[in-house]
Amino acid sequence: GAGVSQSPRYKVAKRGQDVALRCDPISGHVSLFWYQQALGQGPEFLTYFQNEAQLDKSGLPSDRFFAERPEGSVSTLKIQRTQQEDSAVYLCASSLFSRRETQYFGPGTRLLVL
């Protein structure tokens, strides 16, 4: 079956622009996660959904970051007024039920803010 997909794969934005990153989880997976991976670092947790409910957003670095999953499947991570420090790879992952289970990752979106 299809894995986690993300689009776009690459995004270049001018500082101050808004961007939207999309994640399609594995079909039937209840839990969805977003991570931010800076260059040369491991991924860091941003936010977690169970179905359409955002249960944990403790990792979002500022109020410019917003995520939604309105129908419990596809999710969008939105970054408003992008800053250079937002440049990173944004990874999406899903797991079948809860966050106690193995997470399967997508290929990521590489964001470069100029």
Partner 1 sequence: AQKITQTQPGMFVQEKEAVTLDCTYDTSDPSYGLFWYKQPSSGEMIFLIYQGSYDQQNATEGRYSLNFQKARKSANLVISASQLGDSAMYFCAMRELNYGGSQGNLIFGKGTKLSVKP
Is there binding between residue 45 and partner 1 (CB under 8 A)? yes
Q: Which residue number, 1 or 42, has a Cβ lying nearer to partner 1?
A: 42
Adjacent-strand bridge partners of 34: 47, 92
Q: Cis peptide leading into 61, omega within 30 of 0?
A: no
Is there binding between residue 107 and partner 1 (CB under 8 A)? yes
DSSP state of 97: S
- Rule CB under 8 A: choose which of 79, 93, 111, 113 binds partner 1: 93
Q: How far apart are the first and last CA of the chain?
A: 37
DSSP state of 26: P
- Rule CB under 8 A: choose which of 23, 89, 111, 113 binds partner 1: 89
What backbone torsions phi and psi does residue 58 show, to the nearest 5 degrees?
A: -65, -20
Is there binding between residue 1 and partner 1 (CB under 8 A)? no
> How many residues of this chain interact with partner 1, rule: CB under 8 A?
25
Binding residues (CB under 8 A) for partner 1: these are 33, 35, 40-45, 48, 56, 58-59, 89, 91, 93, 99-100, 102-108, 110
